[in-house]
A and B are shown apart, each in its own frame.
Chain A
Amino acid sequence: MTKLKTFAIGGCHPDKHKTTSDRPIEDAGIPETVCIPVCQHIGRPAKILVKKGDRVKTGTLIADADDVISADVHSSVSGEVVKIEENIGKTGYPEIMITVKTDGDDWEESIDRSPETVADITLTGGEIIRRIRKAGIVGMGGAGFPTAAKLSPPPGKKIDTLIINGIECEPWLTADDRLMREKTEEIIIGAKILNKALGIQNAVVAIDENKPQAAALMQKLTRRYVGVNVAVCRTKYPQGAERQLIAAVTGREVPPGCLPADAGCLVQNAGTAFAVYEAVQKNKPLFERVVTVSGDNLDHPGNYRVRLGTPAAYLIEKAAPREEAAEIIFGGPMMGQSGVNPAAPVTKTTSGILCFGAQSVFRPQPTECIRCGRCTEVCPQGLEPFAIKNLTRRGDYQAAKKIHVLDCIECGSCSYVCPARIPLTDYCKLAKYEIRKKK
C-alpha cells in the first residue's frame, strides 16, 4: 500500500453524495430553444456575428473572440436566431444571450462525426493551439479561463508538467468521473495533444481514490501512452483546486501571488482534455458538455450530455423532480452559485445542476464565534478566516490584506466547518472585493 498523495495544509471532508457515479452519460436531447450567452469565460465577451432571423447550424460560429483572453462561441443546435438580448444567467446578473429556435439537428459538415477514436496527432503545436482557440475551449472545471491563452505561458516561465484534473472534489458531481470512465482513451489523447502544444513529455492524470473504476481504467490505458501517468490522490476537499492539486501531485507549492506556471505546472480539467481531443482530432467546436443533474429533489438524477444553452429547468424536468424546487445550484454545493432563474442556461463551465427541496435548503443563523479554530485548521491556504472576519466586520480591509486575504481561493471550507455557522467565506470574498475595488 503506497502512501496516497494529497496537499499538506488544511482540507475537509464534506459528505460525498456521489449517487450518480453509476449512471452512464445519457444524451439530454435538444430543447425547443437554447439561450447561448456570449460570455461563458473569463475575459471580454465575444463579438456577436449573427443577427435576428439568421439560420445557423450545429457548430456554426455565432460570436467571435474579441481578445486573447476571450473565447469563440458556437451554436449548439441548428435553427433560427430569434432573439439577441439580455437574460438572467446563472450568476443572477443579466448577460447578453443569443436565443436560437431549434429545428432538427443539422451539423456543420466540417465536423467529423464518425465514432472512431483518432489517436495519431498530426498537427503541430502552433496548429493545435489555433484549433483549440477556434473551438472556443475554456477551462471546464468552473474557472472558464480560455485554454488557448493558458497554453501560451508568459515568456520566461518553463512548464514541465501537465496535470489533468480528474479530482472532482465537489460533493454530488460525477460528470468528470463518468467522462473518465467512458472516454478514457480520448482524455489520454487530449493530454498528449496538450503535451505536444506545450512541447513537453510529461502529463499526469490526477484522480481521487473515491473513483476507483476511473482510476483503474485510466491506469490500464495509460500504459499504452508514453509520457502520460496516473496519480491517485487521497480524497480531501478542495483537492481539485489548482494550487492544492499541484501541491498534491508534485509537492510544489505555488507562492502567494504567483501563477501555476511559476511552479512549472499547467492544470487542465479532464472535461477540457476531452474537449481538446474533440476539437483537434474531430474538428468539433465546444458546444456540448457533460453535466451532472442531481440533488435530493430528483427521482432520476443522472449525467447528461447537454447542448450549451439548454435551460436548467429542461434538465431538471428530465430528472423527475419530486416537488417544487427550493434551490437550484449551478456547480457543486461548496462553490456553486444558487440560481435565480430556473431557465438560466448551461454554459461551458456548468459541471452540475443540483436541485434541492425545501426540507434540505436552509441558511443557518450565525451565532457567536467560540474560537474553536476549525476554520484555521481546514483552510487549504493556511489563512485565519476568523481574523479576516473580525477585520472585515470592522471595515479594515488593508489589515485583512496584510494577513493574506487575497490568497483566499474561496473554496468554502471555513464556512462549511464553522460550528457557529458564520459565513466566513463571504467575509473573505467581501474583503477581496473591497481591496480590488480600491486599486
Chain B
Amino acid sequence: MLKISTAPHCYAKADTRSIMRDVIISLLPAGAVAVALFGLAALVTIVTAVAGCVFFEYACCRWWLKTKPTTGDFSAVVTGLLLAYNLPCNMPLWMTLIGCFVAIVIAKAAFGGIGKNLFNPALVGRVFLFISFPVQMTTWVKPQLFDFLNTDAATGPTTLGLLKHLDGTASATISAASELPNYEQMFFGYVGGSLGEVSALALLLGFFYLLWRRVVSWHIPVYYLGTFFILTGVFWLTTGNPAAEPVTQLLSGGLMLGALFMATDYTTSPMSKNGKIIFAVGCGVLTFVIRRFGSYPEGVSFAILIMNAFVPLIDRCCHPRIFGTGRK
C-alpha cells in the first residue's frame, strides 16, 4: 500500500524541538558562570525555575487548554532558564515559583500557548516579581568565585545601582565611583546582579553558537546595542555625566541578556528583517530613555515588553520585497 502526501516530501533537520535545544545549549555558559560566582543558591534557583515552568506548561496543556502537552518541545525549559537568569540568586523559592506561574500560565497559556503569546513570558514573570517583591528582587549577593556555599552572602549594589547614585548628590557620587567595577570585571561577570546577566562573555559565547547554528540573525542585538550605545555615548559626550559612560552602561545590568536572548525571541519579535530592525532600534531608544530619565536603574525589561506590544503593528507595516517589484 503506497503512502500519498503532498510536496515537499523532505524536510529541513531543524524543528521546534531542536531549535529550543540549541537555545538551551547557548544559555549554558551563562548558567555555568552564575553557579561559579553565586554558588549552589544559583543552581537551586535555576533548577526550581525550570522545573516550575515545565510543570505549569504541562498542567496548562493537560487540564486547561486540553491539548497534547507541549513540554516535549523544550520551550518551557527555555522560559525557565531565562526567568532564573533574571533573578537574584537568593530569591526565596516560592517567589521563583510565582514567577514561573505568571510566565507560563498568564503570559503564555492565557494567550493560547506556544507561538501565540504577545509578551516575552520570562520578562513578564520577572517584571511581576519585581513589582510585587521589590526588596527581594533588588538584594544582590556579591559574587564569590568558586565559593559554592557562599557562606558570607554579603550583599552589595549592582553596577547600574552605583551608576544611578552617580547621578545623585556629591558625597554619594564619590563613594559610588570608587566602588565601580572595571571593564574586565564586567565583561567576565565578576559583579553583582541577576544570575545570568553578569557575564557578557558567557552570553556572547552562547549567542555566537546560535548564530553559527543559524537559529537567530544578528540584526536585533546589533541594532539594539548599537542604538543604545550611540544614544548613551552622545548624551555622555554632551553632558559629561559620568553615569552615562557608554561602555559601562553597555556591559551592565540586563542589557546583554536582554538584547541577545530576550529581544531575539521568535514569537515576540517581528517576522521581517525590516521589522526586526525597527523593533531593535525601538528597544534601544526605550532602554536609554528609561535608564537615563526613569526612576529605575534598569530599563531593559520594560523596553522589550513595550516593544513587544508593537510587534503586531510592525508586522502589519513591514513586508519583504515581492519578487519582480521595486528593485532599482
Which A residues contact B (CB, under 8 angstroms)? 8-9, 12, 14-15, 92, 171, 243, 247, 253-256, 258, 325-329, 333-340, 342, 354, 356, 361, 363-364, 367-373, 376, 379-384, 386, 403-404, 407, 410, 412, 415-421, 423, 425-426, 429
Contacts and interface: CB of A to CB of B under 8 A. Distances in A.
Given A327-B5, A342-B2, A421-B15, A369 B115 contact: yes
Given A372-B19, A421-B15, A256 B271 contact: no
A376 B320 contact: yes
A334 B7 contact: yes
Given A328-B2, A367-B73, A371-B266, A256 B7 contact: no
A254 B324 contact: yes
Contact of A327 (B9, B15, B16, B73): B9
Nearest to B267: A371
Contacts of A254: 323-324
Interface in B282-328: 319-325, 327
B3 interface: yes
A424 to B, nearest CB: 10
Contacts of B9: 327, 329, 333-334, 336, 338, 354, 356, 361
Interface of B: 2-12, 14-16, 18-19, 70, 73, 75, 113-116, 266-267, 269, 271-272, 319-325, 327
B325 A255 contact: yes
A396 B260 CA distance: 37
Q: Is the interface of A mostly helix, strand, loop or mixed?
A: loop
Given A371-B266, A421-B11, A363 B271 contact: no
23 contacts: A15-B10, A243-B323, A254-B323, A254-B324, A327-B2, A327-B4, A338-B9, A340-B2, A361-B3, A363-B5, A364-B11, A370-B267, A371-B267, A371-B271, A376-B320, A383-B320, A384-B320, A403-B319, A416-B11, A419-B12, A423-B6, A425-B7, A425-B8
4 A-B pairs with least C-beta separation: A412-B8, A255-B324, A253-B324, A333-B9
Nearest to A355: B2
A372 B265 CA distance: 9
A417 B19 contact: no
Contact of B16 (A370, A403, A423): A370
A325 B15 contact: no
Contacts of A370: 16, 19, 75, 114-115, 266-267
Nearest to B276: A373
A171 B7 CA distance: 13
A24 B251 CA distance: 61
A26 to B, nearest CB: 25
A274 B227 CA distance: 58
A405 B122 CA distance: 36
Among the interface residues B8, B70, B319, B327, which one has the most CB atoms of the partner chain A within 10 A?
B8
Contacts, number: 151
B122 to A, nearest CB: 15
> Secondary structure at chain B's binding surface: helix, strand, loop or mixed?
loop
A340 B327 contact: no
B19 A382 contact: no
Contacts of A429: 6
Contacts of A334: 7-10
A362 to B, nearest CB: 9
A253 B15 contact: no
A382 B115 contact: no
Contacts of B269: 371
Contacts of B18: 419
A337 B2 contact: no
A336 B115 contact: no
A419 B115 CA distance: 12
Contacts of B14: 417, 419
Given A376-B271, A417-B14, 9 more contacts: A14-B8, A254-B324, A256-B324, A326-B2, A335-B8, A336-B9, A361-B5, A368-B70, A382-B322
A256 B323 contact: yes
